[in-house]
């Protein structure tokens, strides 16, 4: 079997990698995983793009946490994205911390970690890095690009920036630009990290990260991934390992304990500076901005078929955002299907057990 089809691979591509913000990286390393084999005609490749806190470990165990891949409910044998049929690629985004070039990477010009000398990046830069990876893998055209949340932003950007390379786009629980509310939540997280004295202007030691600040950032963000209905059903006002409140500031409530656990476990697998850079890239995302704010113009040259999926309880990227994309695609004459699915689980619904979403995606890919 060709070595390119092994799992957990990375490639360093020499030469300057220019960025949308004007910065330049002297070289580009992309960490990625693949599942399945590319067919003889090279027509069965699917790129899956991960969300903010995701990585390339799409459908296999994470090397740090030991947990199963983050989208095993969608990708795997007998699932809509079955490696028996598709050649599935998932790359750690530019700016990430699981092997792709990011703030924790060594700058070859100085021999030291980039830290806050890393240039600011955009969603479009992430897509260009993925395009270079596909060139390296010999994949000219993608049968589909699939992504939820920030992954959906990448999927839409693929269709706009590389229209001839994408046959189908599945964009789930996403938006064509970041809202003021979303930017506000990200700023709270960034300020929590930068207020941690251990952050030290981004020059912290790798094994002594600003854990307190990053944990608080994760806690604040995690709330936005859930819903009031889901939190009430799962936790309500139930107490954590006690029969009465302590009249103190320990985690009296189950929901407090849950959020603290989410924050602490996140620190084990994610880099604080990467969190700063990736959230900033999301905040800058606005597909319509280069087209005088007209989203239909952004989609004018697309050649893909589109499938948009939203969830009723997602208040981070509500259905109105998906409808805005659908209207713009309709105005551009692009073929698009759209479904809003019932779920009490908020934004994270696309990562949880969602049989209706799986049926939609399976039908769209096989049509």
* Active site residues per annotation: 149, 314, 347
Type and span of the H or E element at 9: strand 9-18
Say if residues 42 and 140 touch (Cβ distance below 8 Å): yes
At residue 71, the 3 state secondary structure works out as coil
Q: How far apart are CA 129 and CA 56, in angstroms?
A: 14
CA angle, 175 as apex, 47 and 133 as ends, to 5°? 25
Closest CA to 55 of 205, 248, 268: 268
Say if residues 309 and 357 touch (Cβ distance below 8 Å): yes
Could you give the strand order of the β-sheet that contains 45-49, starting from the edge strand earlier in sequence?
Answer: 9-18, 24-35, 87-91, 45-49, 144-148, 168-172, 305-311, 336-341
């Amino acid at each position: 079997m060709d070595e390119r089809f092994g799992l957990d691979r990375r490639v360093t591509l020499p030469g300057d990698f220019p960025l949308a913000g004007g910065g330049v990286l002297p070289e580009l390393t992309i960490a990625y995983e693949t599942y399945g084999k590319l067919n003889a005609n090279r027509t069965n490749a699917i790129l899956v793009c991960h969300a903010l806190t995701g990585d390339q470990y799409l459908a296999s165990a994470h090397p740090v946490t030991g947990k199963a891949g983050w989208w095993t409910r969608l990708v795997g044998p007998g699932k809509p994205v079955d490696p028996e049929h598709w050649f599935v690629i998932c790359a750690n985004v530019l700016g990430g911390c699981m092997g792709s070039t990011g703030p924790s990477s060594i700058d070859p010009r100085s021999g030291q970690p980039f830290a806050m000398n890393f240039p600011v990046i955009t969603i479009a830069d992430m897509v260009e890095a993925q395009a270079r990876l596909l060139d390296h893998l010999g994949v000219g055209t993608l049968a589909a690009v699939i992504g939820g949340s920030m992954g959906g932003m990448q999927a839409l950007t693929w269709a706009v920036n590389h229209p001839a390379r994408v046959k189908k786009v599945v964009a789930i629980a996403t938006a064509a630009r970041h809202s003021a509310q979303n930017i506000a939540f990200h700023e709270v997280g960034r300020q929590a990290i930068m207020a941690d004295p251990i952050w030290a202007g981004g020059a912290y030691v790798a094994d002594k990260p600003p854990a307190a600040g990053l944990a608080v950032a994760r806690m604040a963000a995690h709330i936005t991934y859930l819903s009031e209905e889901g939190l009430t059903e799962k936790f309500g006002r139930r107490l954590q390992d006690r029969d009465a409140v302590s009249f103190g500031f320990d985690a009296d409530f189950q929901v407090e304990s849950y959020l603290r656990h989410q924050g602490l476990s996140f620190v084990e697998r994610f880099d604080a500076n990467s969190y700063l850079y990736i959230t900033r890239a999301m905040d800058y995302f606005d597909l319509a901005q280069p087209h005088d704010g007209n989203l239909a113009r952004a989609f004018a040259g697309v050649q893909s078929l589109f499938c948009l999926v939203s969830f009723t309880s997602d208040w981070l990227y509500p259905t109105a955002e998906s409808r805005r994309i659908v209207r713009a695609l309709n105005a551009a004459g692009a073929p698009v299907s759209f479904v809003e699915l019932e779920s009490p689980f908020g934004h994270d619904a696309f990562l949880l057990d969602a049989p209706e979403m799986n049926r939609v995606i399976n039908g769209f890919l096989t049509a």
